[in-house]
Structure 1
Amino acid sequence: MLRAVALLLLACMGVPGPVQAGTAAAWDALREGRAVLLLRHATAPGMGDPANFALGDCSTQRNLDRRGREQARRWGHLLRSQGIARPRLLSSRWCRARDTAQELGLGAVEPLPALDSFFADRTRAAAQTAQLVEAVNALMSGTVMVLVSHQVNITALTGVYPASGEGLILARPLRVPARVLARIAPP
Structure 2
Amino acid sequence: MTWRAEPRPGRRETLALGGWLLLPVAGAAEGEAAAWAALAEGGVGLFRHAYAPGVGDPPGMRLGDCATQRNLDAAGRAQARRLGEAFRARGLRVGGVLTSAWCRCVETAELAFPGQARVEPAFDSFFEARVEETARTEAARHILLGWRGPGALVVVTHQVNITGLTGVVPGSGEGVVLAKSGPGIELVGRIRV
Asked if Structure 1 and Structure 2 have the same fold, meaning a TM-score greater than 0.5 normalized by the shorter chain, the answer is yes
Deviations 1:79-109 (A, max 9, x none): 1122225431110010000000001035421
Contact 2:51–2:76 at 8 Å: present in 1 too?
yes
With over 3 angstroms needed to count, the CA separation of the structure-2 counterparts of 1:39 and 1:152, relative to structure 1, is: same
Considering fraction of residues, name the structure with more strand: 2
Cα distance in 1 for partners of 2:119, 2:181 equals 20
- The match for 2:9 is none
Return the match for 1:37 from 29, 35, 45: 45
Considering fraction of residues, name the structure with more helix: 1
- The match for 1:6 is none
Cα distance in 2 for partners of 1:162, 1:57 equals 26
| Root-mean-square deviation over aligned CA pairs | 2.3
Cα distance in 2 for partners of 1:148, 1:22 equals 20
Deviations 1:119-159 (A, max 9, x none): 00112112211100112223434442110000000010010
- The match for 1:54 is 62
Unpaired segments of 5 or more residues in structure 1?
Answer: 1-13
Q: How many residues align?
A: 169
Cα distance in 1 for partners of 2:186, 2:79 equals 25
- The match for 2:162 is 154
Unpaired segments of 5 or more residues in structure 2?
Answer: 1-25
3-state SS of the aligned residue for 1:179? Answer: strand
Map 1:77-92 onto structure 2 (within 5 A).
Answer: 77-92=85-100
Could you state the TM-score of these two structures normalised by the residue count of structure 1? 0.81
Could you state the TM-score of these two structures normalised by the residue count of structure 2? 0.79
| Greater CA drift, 103-112 or 56-65 | 103-112
Deviation at 1:50, TM superposition (A): 1.0
Return the match for 1:102 from 80, 87, 110: 110
Cα distance in 2 for partners of 1:120, 1:112 equals 18
With over 3 angstroms needed to count, the CA separation of the structure-2 counterparts of 1:179 and 1:67, relative to structure 1, is: same
